Amino acid sequence: MSDDGDADRTRRFREAALPHLDDVFTLARYLMRDRADAEDAVQECFLRALRHFDSYRGPAMKPWLLAILRNVCKAEFARRAVQPAPPERTEEELAADDPSPWQEPQLSPEAELLRRHDDEAIRRLVASLPQPFRETIVLRDINDLSYRDIAEMLRVPVGTVMSRLARARAMLRARWTLEQGSAP
């Protein structure tokens, strides 16, 4: 390919991909926890995406980039997994850690949540959710992907996306309620 062709391709890629940088970075932050790791993952994501841009035929650019980012993060976790990982646990077991997904609060925690606008607290609680619930709620409620996009990205049926999202939101709400209960 000529230099001109390369330059043109890069230009098209930048125009298509760079507007989604914040979305990609956001998902990276929730997946990697460590900020520098997240930044590295985002950079690797964009480089890989450029390499595969010629074969890109869809889906929409945002879910495509997020899928690549997720693959980069997974590969990184796999690489790190030198120390024995905790035994695989089922989603049911993970969900069972939250024995009270639904508690009747004395105050409406949502009203409280709304009043305090405590963005940082919500962020922290979302980040505390176990996988795969965390990525599902981030993709839906923060990255604004449709159920179908999420299902394609995670390569699971839409029904699975729906049940994970229901669990994720129930856990998030329960944690919030708990936190409010124990707060001074």
Partner 1 sequence: MNCSEAEVLIHALIDGELDAGHARDVEAHVATCPDCARKLAAFRELRRTMSVADLKEKAPASLRARIEAALPLPPAPARATGAVVVPAPVLAARRFNRRFFVGGFALGTALSGAVAATLVLGVLNDDRQQRIAGEVVTAHLRSLQPGHLTDVETSDRHTVKPWFNGKLDVAPPVVDLTAQGFTLIGGRLDDVNGETAAAIVYRRRNHVINLFVAPAQGARQQEPASQTRHGFNVLHWQENGLDFWAVSDIAAGELDEFAQKFRAALQPSPAPS
Q: Does 128 bind partner 1 (CB under 8 A)?
A: no
Asked if 81 touches partner 1 (CB under 8 A), the answer is: no
Query: Which of 64, 98, 134, 139 lies at the binding interface for partner 1 (CB under 8 A)?
Result: 64
Residue 55 touches partner 1, criterion: CB under 8 A: yes
Given the complex with partner 1, which of 87 and 119 has the nearer CB atom? Answer: 119
State the CB neighbour count (10 A cutoff) for residue 93: 11
Q: Which of 86, 113, 81, 101 is nearest to 168 (CA)?
A: 101
Task: Report the residue number, 84 or 155, with the smaller CB distance to partner 1.
Answer: 155
Contact between 151 and partner 1 per CB under 8 A? yes
Q: Does 18 sit near partner 1 (CB under 8 A)?
A: yes
Q: Is 158 in the site for partner 1 (CB under 8 A)?
A: yes
> Per rule CB under 8 A, is residue 29 in the interface with partner 1?
yes
> Binding residue for partner 1 (CB under 8 A) from 16, 50, 94, 178?
50
